[in-house]
Amino acid sequence: MPVPELDANGVLPAGVFDCTLAEVAQRFGGFEEGDYFTLRQDELCSGPMESLKEFSEVLSADPRQEAFVLVNEKTGQMRRIGLKDYHDEAKQLVLHEGVPEKVRYHFENARNLLVYSWFHYPFNSLAQFHAYIAVEAALRLKAGKPKANFRMLLKEAVKKKWITDEGFTLGRARKSAQPVYPITIDGAQVPDARSYCEVLVQSIPNLRNTFAHGEVFLHNSGATSMLNCAELINQLFDKPLTGAVAAGI
């Protein structure tokens, strides 16, 4: 169906609308070269105040989940995302057995929050926050510095090569891809020369502080951040050898 009219609040009604990018551009406009946009936190997170769900609705999906679909890359077919999709995603985010239990405790909380965000949408970003807590705990244990600054610990991990770009799925992809957001210097666009690890040194503490200082930050991409966190933590600790390898077989 074509793009429907917006409601009285200027919002699209819930649903999946089969339309082309050209129709979207005609309906909402597009960006010209040099255009940019910003979103304030209150604009990004505007909506009804969160409240305790009624007991009869506790096991019902959060209505905001209706906005998301999965697309089959081969066929182009779309289907609504479901609870099992969240659970399958969480099952793939695993810390190996060499990671200390204290760190795995925090990360398991993050995995469960990701799954239960199906029922309460804000749990998705809260899962991201708990994954950052796990990263900080892991770095403090690795460095033997229980009170060290988070960003300083990340810088130490990069300097001592505890973590490398090759250890991150997105880091490897970044090296083989064209820069999406180049840096503009004196009017000329140049690629971002920072390594992926250097980007994480800046972004992870900033995002952790956003949550810790009480900012409201809603999204459904917690799993992507959790993948980074899992791969970072797994690089910090030696993975136990399997029985056959340990025995020299």
Cα–Cα distance, 138 to 235 (Å, whole number)? 10
Closest CA to 151 of 178, 171, 179, 132: 132
**In-domain check, residue 2:** no
**In-domain check, residue 78:** yes
Cα–Cα distance, 72 to 27 (Å, whole number)? 25
Per-position pLDDT tens, the chain of length 249: 567 777 665 666 766 666 665 666 666 655 444 443 344 445 445 556 899 999 999 999 999 999 898 988 888 899 999 999 999 999 999 999 999 999 999 999 999 999 999 999 999 999 999 999 999 999 999 999 999 999 999 999 999 999 999 999 998 887 776 554 554 545 555 555 678 999 999 999 999 999 999 888 888 899 999 999 999 999 999 998 875 555 555
**In-domain check, residue 58:** yes
Q: Which domain holds residue 86?
A: 21-240
**In-domain check, residue 11:** no
**In-domain check, residue 149:** yes
Is the model's pTM score more than 0.85? Answer: no
What is residue 246's predicted lDDT score, i.e. its pLDDT?
Answer: 53
What is residue 74's predicted lDDT score, i.e. its pLDDT?
Answer: 87
Strands 183-185 and 78-80, by their bridges, are unpaired
Q: Helices marked H in the chain — which ranges?
A: 21-28, 41-44, 83-91, 101-116, 123-143, 150-159, 169-176, 196-212, 222-236, 243-246
Domain count, the chain: 1
Return the bridge partners of 78, or none: 71
Cα–Cα distance, 10 to 168 (Å, whole number)? 40
**In-domain check, residue 12:** no
